[in-house]
Amino acid sequence: VGGLKERLITLTSHGLSVKVATNAWRLILERANEALSNLTDDQVLKEVSPGRNRVIYLWGHLTAVHDAMFPILGLGDRLHPELDAIFISSPDKVGAQLPPVGELRRYWDEVNGKLLSQFATLSENEWLQRHRSMSDEDYAKDPTRNRLAVLLSRTNHLSYHLGQITLALK
C-alpha cells in the first residue's frame, strides 16, 4: 500500500509539472494576444527600437515558429509553411511582401488555437518523450531534449519578443 500511495503521489506530481508548463505557455500567449490587440495598425508597422524589427515582422516570425511546433512535437503537418521564407529565412525590411495584418492575425489565432487543443491530447509521459527533430541516439544521450523542453524553449522565445513588441505600445 505504501508503494502504491507513493506511486500515485509521484504520478500526480508529474502531471503537475506538465500542467505548470502548459499554464505558463497559456499565460504568456494571453499577454501576447492582449498586447497585439491593443496595437493600432500604425503601431504594428513601427520598429520596436530605431533600426530594429517592426512589430509586424515579429508577429509573423512568432506565427511561423509556433506553426513549426506541429511537426517538431509530432502533432501533424504545419498549417502555414509558406511563412518561413518571409519571417524566418529573411530579415525584416528586405522587400518581401508581408501578408496584411488581418490575415496574419487569422493565421496567428488558427495556429495557437490548434496547438492548445493538440497539447491537451498528450499524456504526461508523451511530453517527456523525444521531439521529432532529434534521433533516438541523441535522445538516449540526453533525455532532457524532449517535448517539454521544446515547449519551455518556445515559451521563452515568445516572452523575449513580447518584451520587444510592448515597446511599440504607448
Name the residues that contact its own copies, by CB under 8 A. Answer: 3-4, 6-7, 9-11, 13-14, 16-21, 23-24, 28, 48-50, 52, 124-125, 127-128, 143-144, 146, 148-149, 152-153, 155-157, 159-164, 167
Q: Are 166 and 35 in contact (CB under 8 A)?
A: yes
Please list the residues that pair with 146 across neighbouring strands. Answer: 130
Q: Nearest approach, Cβ of 121 to its own copies (angstroms)?
A: 18
| Least distance between its own copies and beta carbon 24 (Å) | 4
Task: Kindly state the smallest distance separating residue 54's Cβ from its own copies, in Å.
Answer: 13
Residue 62: closest CA among 18, 20, 117, 25: 25
User: In Å, how far are 68, 96, 149, 162 from 143, measured between CA atoms?
Assistant: 21, 39, 10, 29
Closer CB to its own copies, residue 81 or residue 143? 143
Nearer to its own copies, 28 or 79 (CB): 28
Considering the complex, state which of residue 47 and residue 84 has its C-beta at the smaller distance from its own copies. Answer: 47
Q: Residue 146 has which C-alpha cell? A: 524532449
Cell of 110: 488558427
Task: In angstroms, give the least distance from the CB of 109 to its own copies.
Answer: 21
Distance CA 165, CA 45 (A): 11
Q: CB-wise, 14 or 105, nearer to its own copies?
A: 14
